[in-house]
Amino acid sequence: MTKLSNSLAQADISTALHPYTNARRHEEKGPLVIERGEGVHVFDTTGKRYIEGLAGLWSVGVGFSEPRLVEAAHRQMQALPYYHSFAHKAHEPSIRLAEKLIEMTPQGLDRVFFTSSGSEANDTVVKLVWYMNNALGRPEKKKFLARTKGYHGITVASGSLTGLPYNHMDFDLPVIPVSHLTCPHHYRFGHEGESEAEFTARLLAEAEEVIEREGPETIAAFIGEPLMAAGGVMPPPEGYWKGIEALCRKHDILLVSDEVICGFGRLGSSFGCVHYGFSPDIMVTSKQLTSSYMPLAAIVFSEKVYDAIADNTARIGTFGHGFTASGHPVATAVGLENLRIIEERDLIGNAARMGARMQEGLRRLGDHPLVGEVRGAGLIAGLELVADKATKRPFDPVGKAGLMAFEIGHEEGLIIRNVGDTLALCPPMIVTEDDIDEIVGKMGRILERTADWVAQEGLA
């Protein structure tokens, strides 16, 4: 480490509590301090270069240090660095971005509400749905359906929707009425000998059984990521989303598509709901909305939902919800320019083409004895490491091998994420063929080195 990087690391250890981090381990290990980014790469304070294989946190679509986004922020900072949207106030960047979102999203999504993060957005969805049903004289229609291993954020409400143990453990969550259905991952949750079609049918039967048991008059919405990402990169089985949509329509349940990770081309289609062929009533977007250059999220929803809410604001006198930074002018200006870049450079098409190359290359690694399953779509992929390939037996403890692979990745110059023992990839949408081939090559070396370590540790 340089003197500067050592000083920064020590300051970080002595001052910060990091998200999703073992604080005591961090005190011993210290941070990897990232100094700058360029394209698909980031550089630490020693000058070492890494391919950012997770696009930050599933989020930097147009790459790092894109000049047009820097310029968009600068222009807006000079003109109007901040203003709010309370009490009939507005400004051009948020107006233009709302227009653009309605143009880009599937037909029937015609209203926009801005927040600063996906967690805030999903928290707001809960409040919108509750508010709407109270306005419609349905005070009992408040429950949510979500999925085990789904991820929807970390606020009290959105964290309750999330179906991951660490997001609930010792936080006293969930605290809102939510039922978590079986994770739609055939490899891990299919019964022995059960085909994918049979698995889908069982999950849909389970969903309907829960709806009927709880009473459809009590269930407000079903929320799901089109492809489950943060829980371990799990694409849905064939027919799953069509079946869920049919159940929601049958029982008058709103369908919420959490597109925080899948949205704006990550799967090689405009949105995850388009990729999997279903039509939501509410869509939540963030991350690639600004390529995470600025904190911003947008809820895009139907006129039907809007009308019920708007009528109630007239009755009560106001809509008692909002954030200081809702529709922040700099964030929305950056978001608008980011979406222009995605369109002008055909990054959705590039995600489809490079995604196919990445999936093909990673699937060649599926023969490795450490790899149980390679899965994904577009530019999202996961390799699940197992102790026994034939029986799918996981490592014990789960996560130890994945953490080692994650750390080996740093040594190899590739930043990935370990979700338990699944190694996740989600590179920026600007990746080239050479970038993809380098990522696949590095993943191969990570697997070989991890296999050597597993053998030395006697974990297999």
Whether residues 54 and 178 share a domain: the answer is no
Query: 266 and 376: one domain?
Result: no
Say which DSSP state 184 is in.
-
Residue where a domain stops, chosen among 344, 374, 407:
344
- One domain, residues 328 and 431: no
The CA distance from 43 to 64, in Å, is 11
Q: Are 338 and 71 in contact (CB under 8 A)?
A: no
Measured distance CA(300)–CA(282) in Å, rounded: 6
What's the angle, vertex CA 28, arms to CA 24 and CA 30, rounded to 5?
100
Query: Does residue 24 fall inside a structural domain?
Result: no
Q: Report yes or no on 10 lying in a domain.
A: no
Residue 3 has pLDDT above 60, yes or no: no
For the segment 305-331, the average pLDDT, to the nearest whole number, is: 98
Q: pLDDT exceeding 70 applies to what percent of the chain?
A: 99
Residues 103 and 240 in one domain: yes
Mean pLDDT of 298-304: 98
Residue 306 sits in a domain of what CATH number? 3.40.640.10
The rounded distance, in Å, linking the Cα atoms of 358 and 456 is: 30
Which tokens go with 210?
């829960």
- Mean pLDDT, residues 439-449 taken together: 98
**Tens of pLDDT, residues 31-85:** 999 999 999 999 999 999 999 999 999 999 999 999 999 999 999 999 999 999 9
Predicted model pTM: 0.97
Task: Identify the domain containing residue 443 by its residue range.
Answer: 32-62+346-457
Q: Are residues 106 and 143 in the same domain?
A: yes
In a shared domain, residues 234 and 292: yes
* pLDDT tens profile 177-229: 999 999 999 999 999 999 999 999 999 999 999 999 999 999 999 999 999 99
Domain-located, residue 409: yes
CATH number of the domain that 410 lies in? 3.90.1150.10
Domain identity same for 290 and 337: yes
47: left (phi over 0), alpha (psi -120 to 50) or beta: left
- For residue range 97-152, what is the model confidence (pLDDT) as tens digits? 999 999 999 999 999 999 999 999 999 999 999 999 999 999 999 999 999 999 99
Which of 344, 377, 398 finishes a domain?
A: 344
Length of the chain: 460
Same-domain status, 350 and 238: no
Kindly state whether residue 27 falls inside one of the protein's structural domains: no
- Asked which of 344, 372, 392 is the last residue of a domain, the reply is 344
Nearest CA to 284 out of 58, 119, 132 is that of 119
CA distance 449 to 245: 44
Distance, in Å, from the CA atom of 204 to the CA atom of 243, rounded to the nearest integer, reads 7
In a domain, 23, yes or no: no
Residue 2: predicted pLDDT = 47
Distance CA 224, CA 338 (A): 25
The reply to whether 189 and 226 lie within a common domain is: yes
* Confidence class for position 460, pLDDT limits 50, 70, 90: confident
452/358 same-domain check: yes
Encoding tokens for residue 44? 């630490």
| Two tokens, residue 130 | 């509750």
Instruction: Convert the pLDDT of each residue in 156-176 to its tens digit.
Output: 999 999 999 999 999 999 999
pLDDT above 50 for 1: no
In this prediction, residues 12-34 reach a mean pLDDT of: 96
Number of domains in the chain: 2
Do both 72 and 206 map to the same domain? yes
| Torsion from C-alpha of 312, 316, 318, 322, nearest 10 degrees | -70
Q: Do the domain assignments include residue 55?
A: yes
25 is a domain residue: no
21 in any annotated domain: no
| CB contact at 8 A, 31 and 9 | yes
41-44 and 380-385 as β-strands: parallel, antiparallel, unpaired? unpaired
279: phi then psi, degrees, rounded to nearest 5: -120, 105
Rounded distance, CA 86 to CA 292, Å? 24
Q: Do 338 and 356 reside in the same domain of the chain?
A: no
Q: How far is CA 54 from the centre of its chain?
A: 11
